[in-house]
Structure 1
Amino acid sequence: MLRWLDIIKFANNGTPAPDKRVEKTPEEWKALLTEEQFKITRLKGTERAFSSELCSYFAPGRYVCVCCDTALFDAEEKFESGTGWPSFTQPIKENAVAYHKDRSLGMQRIEARCNTCDAHLGHVFQDGPMPSGLRYCINALSLKKVAVSEKKIDFGGGCFWCTEAIFQRLRGVIKVESGYSGGTVINPTYREVCSGTTGHAEIVEITYKPEEISFEDLLKIHLSTHNPTTVDRQGADSGSQYRSIIFYRNEEEKQTAMRVIDEAQKSYSDMIVTQLQMFEHFYKAENYHQDYYNQNQEAGYCQAVINPKLSKFRDLYHDKLKQ
Structure 2
Amino acid sequence: MLKWLDVIKYANNGNPAPDKRVEKTEKEWKALLTEEQFNVTRLKGTEHAFSSDLCSYFEPGRYTCVCCGTALFDSDTKFESGTGWPSFTQPIQENAVAYHKDSTFGMVRIEALCNTCDAHLGHVFQDGPMPSGLRYCMNAVSLKKVDVSEKKVDLGGGCFWCTEAIFQRLKGVIKVESGYSGGKITNPTYREVCSGATGHAEMIEVTYNPNEISFDDLLRIHLSTHNPTTVDEQGADQGSQYRSIIFYRTEDEKQAAMKVIDEVQKSYLDMIVTQIEMFEHFYKAEDYHQDYYNKNPDGGYCQAIIDPKLSKFRELYNDKIK
TM-score normalised by the shorter chain: which range applies?
0.7 to 0.9
Post-superposition shift, 1:120? 0.9
Which residue number in structure 1 is paired with residue 276 of structure 2?
277
After superposition, the C-alpha distances for 1:70-91 in whole angstroms (9 at most, x for unaligned) are 1101122223334332222221
Q: Which runs of 5+ in 2 are unaligned?
A: none
* CA distance in 2 between partners of 1:186 and 1:82 (Å): 33
Question: C-alpha displacement at 1:237, in angstroms?
Answer: 1.8
2:162 is aligned to 162
Which shifted more, 282-291 or 135-144?
A: 282-291
**Equivalent residue of 1:309, what SS?**
helix
Aligned twin of 1:175: 175
Which residue is 2:6 aligned to? Answer: 6
1:190-231 residue CA offsets vs partner (Å, 9 max, x unmatched): 666556566654333322112212223222221221112323
* Contact in 2 for aligned 1:160/1:204 (Cα 8 Å): yes
Partner deviation per Cα, 1:160-192 (whole Å, 9 max, x = no partner):
332122212222112223345556x46473666
Match of 1:317 in 2: 317
Maintained 8 Å contact 2:61/2:146: yes
| Structure 1 residue 294: Cα displacement | 5.0
The offset of 1:68, in angstroms, is 1.8
In 2, the alpha carbon distance for the partners of 1:288 and 1:272 equals 35
- The separation in 2 between residues aligned to 1:251 and 1:114, in whole angstroms, is 29
Matched, 1:152 2:152: yes
- RMSD over aligned CA atoms reads 3.2
Partner of 1:72: 72
Tell me, yes or no, if structure 1 residue 16 matches structure 2 residue 16.
yes
Q: In structure 2, how many angstroms separate the alpha carbons of the residues matched to 1:80 and 1:198?
A: 34
Query: What residue is the counterpart of 2:213 in the other structure?
Result: 213
Residue identity (%): 74
Within a 5 Å distance, the mapping from 1:58-97 to structure 2 comes to: 58-97=58-97
Q: 2:139 is aligned with what amino acid? A: N
* In 2: Cα distance, 1:255 partner to 1:87 partner: 24
How many residues in Structure 1 have an aligned counterpart in Structure 2? 320
Give the Cα separation in 1 of the matches to 2:79 and 2:92.
14
Residues 233/289 of structure 1: CA separation in 2 closer, same or farther (3 Å cut): farther
Q: Deviations over 1:17-61 (max 9, x none)?
A: 323333333233223222111100111111223333333433322
Query: 1:252 deviation in Å?
Result: 5.5
Matches within 5 A, 1:1-323: 1-181=1-181, 185=184, 187=186, 189=188, 201-248=201-248, 253=253, 256-257=256-257, 260-261=260-261, 264-265=264-265, 267-268=267-268, 270-275=269-274, 277=276, 279-288=278-287, 291=290, 293-294=292-293, 297=296, 301-322=301-322
CA displacement, residues 252-272 of structure 1 (integer Å, 9 cap, x when unaligned): 55565455445544544x224
Output the CA distance in 1 between the equivalents of 2:226 and 2:60.
31
Q: Secondary structure at the match of 1:64?
A: strand
Compute the TM-score of the two structures, normalised by the length of structure 1: 0.82
Q: Counterpart of 1:90 in 2: which secondary structure?
A: coil
Cα drift, residue 310 of structure 1 = 3.0
Give the 3 Å change call, closer, same or farther, for CA 252–6 of structure 1 in structure 2.
closer
Moved segments of 4+, more than 6 Å: none
CA distance in 1, matches of 2:12, 2:264: 53
C-alpha distance 304-112 of structure 1, shift in aligned 2 (>3 A): same
* SS, match of residue 222 in structure 1: helix
In structure 1, the gaps of 5 or more residues are: none
The answer to whether the Cα contact below 8 Å between 1:161 and 1:289 also exists between their aligned partners in 2 is: no
CA apart distance, 1:158: 1.6
What TM-score do the two structures reach when normalised by structure 2?
0.83
Aligned-partner SS, 2:64: strand
**Are the structure 2 counterparts of residues 296 and 7 from structure 1 closer, same or farther at C-alpha, using a change threshold of 3 Å?**
farther
